[in-house]
Amino acid sequence: MKHRRRASLFVCIAILLVALWTTGTAARRPVRARHGMVASASAIASRVGVEIMKKGGNAVDAAVAVGLALAVVYPVAGNIGGGGFMTIRMADGRTTVIDYREMAPGRASRNMYLDERGRVIPEASTIGYQAVGVPGTVAGMALALKKFGTLAWEDLVRPAEKLAREGFPVDDRLIRSLRAYRSVLSRFPDSRRIFLHNGRGYREGDILRQPELAATLRRLMEYGPDEFYRGETARLIAEDMARNGGLITLDDLKSYRAVERRPLRTTYRGYEIITVPPPSSGGVALIEMLHMLEPYDLAALGHNSADYVHLLVEVMRRAFADRAAFLGDPDFSPLPVAGLISRAYADERRKTIDMMRATPSTEIGHGDPLPYESEQTTHYTIVDAAGNVVSNTYTLNSGFGSGVVAHGTGILLNNEMDDFTSKPGVPNQFGLIQSEANSIAPRKRPLSAMTPTIVLKDGRPYFAVGSPGGPTIINTVLQVILNIIDFHMNIQQAIDMPRVHHQWLPDRIVYEPFGLSRDTIEALKRRGHTFANRPRYMGDAQGVMIDPQTGMRLGASDGRRGGQAVGF
């Protein structure tokens, strides 16, 4: 009898915790503003973007300033030593994606991370100088500004330079991230000096000043964005690489180009989806999953019910199996994108879903799209008074990237080379299996999961969203979209609701604390699903919605990591 009472008590506590999650998130309201809104991982950076718009800048101007500010105040992921994707929809209807993904150095080679026996060398693609891809952030911000901005480059760099020079208060969140990556940062002298305070560590409220980074930003202000790739900054990066066995040369930096790509577009229940093409896999996988889900009445299944989670997992595992098989850099090989995002292909994939039984990932494999042809990262979303929208995701890959600060620059460098396929069939640091299509080659861009997305309603911007989180990015964006369109949540509720994730391999459901009841988990196990050993939080979504009735900007920042939406 005692055991039964304890079991009943446990169930009651679990139900209460789930109820507290959902009622708590329902009580959180979006930040409301009349003119413009910035939702980012840092309140400081969000305020920088708002000030730019107050001075007459548009959403693209603000996006450049926010990206550079995050490089100072959010060093775990904000960067000028990494790369990313910016989805833009201007008020006049023009849309584009700025691809400023990092590139493999000219001396990179297919098997560079394998030993003499063909085994992947531990940490070779994740830590240190050989893990670094040619950074694209400065070029990407400059291209966006040139095409769609209105203010001068130096005015958008100035707030970041001031933050680096004068410093900002260290908060608990930054201290926790520095502690988590202490072992990596301590391996490199400049990283240890700047971010670990010469090994002493920082206390909450200490001022973090970054004079070398401030000097780099001053050079960018004075000489323009090309200075990063051809000037003193480029020379310092190339020399530090040469001293430490890195592959990036001055020629690699001079050769880097950000490019515009045509966004992927589809509709879902009458809403228009605008998202990223390869070399990000995010848009392809997102559209494939939305097409598979559209015939189902998701609201009738019940949010995060056993039926709903089962269906989500089944479409996720199929989309991720296709991602692993087919996607890479479109500049290096033809990709079956049109087939993968076609509704006919989704219909064929959907036919293999059994609502009463989990399909083991070993039985899934990829589909055949050809007949249908015709993880640390950060995101911010900006809407201005005119209705221009920017959804930007950029990254160093792991937290603090490779751990390397290029000597004399203050710039943390990415470890994006791990996003290539070191060896087909061997998972990367995120557990992703990838194919020959994503193998390493000079000047090639690695496959990404970044999914900055804009959604239109009746031809007008309705909301925009994106998230960090490695492969969980794609499924985070998917679930936010479903929460809004199918379950009629506001942007804050949609972001706060608990999430699930499946990426084909490893064959397990990742879920969040208090996100699924014990009964739901047991029901899914009876259908053959396997769960991760313990729950964990996923993503850090940042979104902005435009209220169709009032035109108010509704900003929402994920509570999982403590960002902030700021409007005016």
Tell me if residue 511 falls in helix, strand or coil: strand
CA angle 413, 419, 420 (to 5 degrees): 115
Spatial distance between the Cα atoms of 426 and 221, rounded to a whole number of angstroms: 43
Tell which residue, 452, 470, 344, has the closest CA to residue 396.
470
Spatial distance between the Cα atoms of 352 and 368, rounded to a whole number of angstroms: 13
Number of helices (H) and strands (E) in the chain: give both, helices first. 21, 20
Which two tokens mark 566? 């700021």
E strand residue ranges, 47-119: 83-89, 95-100
- CB of 206 closer than 8 Å to CB of 198: no
Spatial distance between the Cα atoms of 514 and 508, rounded to a whole number of angstroms: 18
Q: Which residue has the tokens 């994740």?
A: 126
3-state DSSP of 373-403: CCCEEEEEEEECCCCCEEEEEEEEECCCCCC
Considering the candidates 377, 421, 453, 520, report the single residue annotated as catalytic. 377
Spatial distance between the Cα atoms of 124 and 131, rounded to a whole number of angstroms: 6
Q: What are phi and psi of 316, to 5 degrees?
A: -60, -45
Spatial distance between the Cα atoms of 190 and 236, rounded to a whole number of angstroms: 13
Tell which residue, 410, 411, 434, has the closest CA to residue 422.
434
Tell which residue, 413, 391, 388, 416, has the closest CA to residue 400.
413
Residue 334, Cβ neighbours under 10 Å: how many? 8
Alpha helices in 432-509 (DSSP H): 472-485, 491-496
- CB of 500 closer than 8 Å to CB of 511: yes
- In terms of phi and psi (left: phi > 0; alpha: psi -120 to 50; beta: otherwise), the region of 397 is left
362 in active site:
no
Point out the residues that are catalytic. Answer: 377
